[in-house]
């Protein structure tokens, strides 16, 4: 595969691309971000990519030479592999537990973000988020327990941490903006985790710069 910069494409918003960007910065992999603003043109480009064989073309996606890949979690594992960081994704021995945690984080993200797409105002959003909170309680409690006993969600830092920290920061922002209490007594654990992740080498510099 080409050693040129990874090309990362997404809409001109933070959204699903941020954990990929933070991971790329942490790994020190060179990349260029293509921010899409024209909806019709982007749909046309997507259709062309599918026609060329990139069957699951969707934003965000990466282009690395002639290689294309979509889906946030898949992209995050790929860039870890490209950087030679086998320690940052699952091995044969721990693949089952890793897959379990991946599913938990995807459920947490979905439970928090889905209400945003089906509400008309902030009050309705607050009500639906409180409903989600009840459904997500065991996951929020379980993740907090893991983070209170180890430095990262897995036995070592992995790309899952870069996914999780984005979700946690989103929850903290929503709590503040909507005057909600989602994390309950675990808030301090989550706040400390966010601070630790965003003080990592290269990540802290990235968040202070114009690319953030």
Residue 62 near residue 8, CB atoms below 8 Å? yes
- Decide: 167 and 105 in contact? Cβ < 8 Å: yes
Q: Give the mean model confidence (pLDDT) for residues 46-73.
A: 97
The tens digit of pLDDT for each residue in 39-50 reads 999 999 999 999
Instruction: Please determine, for residue 2, whether its predicted confidence score (pLDDT) is greater than 60.
Output: no
Average confidence (pLDDT) over 87-113: 95
pLDDT(81) > 60: yes
Q: Is 154 helix (H, G, I), strand (E, B) or coil?
A: coil
What is the phi/psi pair of residue 28, to 5°? 75, 25
Q: How confident is the model at residue 1 (pLDDT cuts 50, 70, 90)?
A: very low
Residue 11: strand pairing partners? 36
3 pLDDT tier (thresholds 50, 70, 90): low
pTM above 0.85, yes or no: yes
């Amino acid at each position: 595969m080409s050693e040129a910069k990874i090309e990362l494409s997404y809409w001109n918003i933070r959204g699903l691309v941020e954990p990929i960007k933070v991971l790329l910065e942490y790994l020190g992999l060179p990349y260029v971000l293509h921010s899409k603003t024209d909806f019709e043109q982007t749909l046309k480009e997507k259709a062309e990519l599918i026609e060329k064989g990139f069957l699951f073309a969707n934003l965000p996606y990466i282009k690395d030479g002639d290689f294309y890949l979509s889906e946030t979690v898949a992209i995050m594992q790929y860039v870890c592999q490209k950087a030679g960081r086998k320690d940052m994704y699952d091995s044969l021995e721990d693949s089952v537990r890793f897959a379990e945690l991946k599913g938990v984080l995807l459920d947490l993200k979905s439970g928090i973000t889905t209400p945003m797409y089906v509400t008309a105002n902030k009050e309705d959003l607050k009500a639906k988020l409180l409903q989600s909170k009840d459904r997500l309680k065991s996951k929020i409690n379980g993740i907090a327990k893991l983070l209170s006993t180890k430095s990262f969600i897995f036995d070592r830092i992995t790309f899952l941490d870069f996914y999780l920290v984005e979700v946690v920061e989103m929850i903290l922002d929503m709590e503040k903006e909507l005057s909600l209490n989602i994390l309950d007594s675990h808030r301090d654990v989550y706040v400390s985790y966010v601070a630790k992740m965003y003080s990592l080498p290269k990540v802290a510099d990235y968040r202070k710069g114009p690319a953030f």
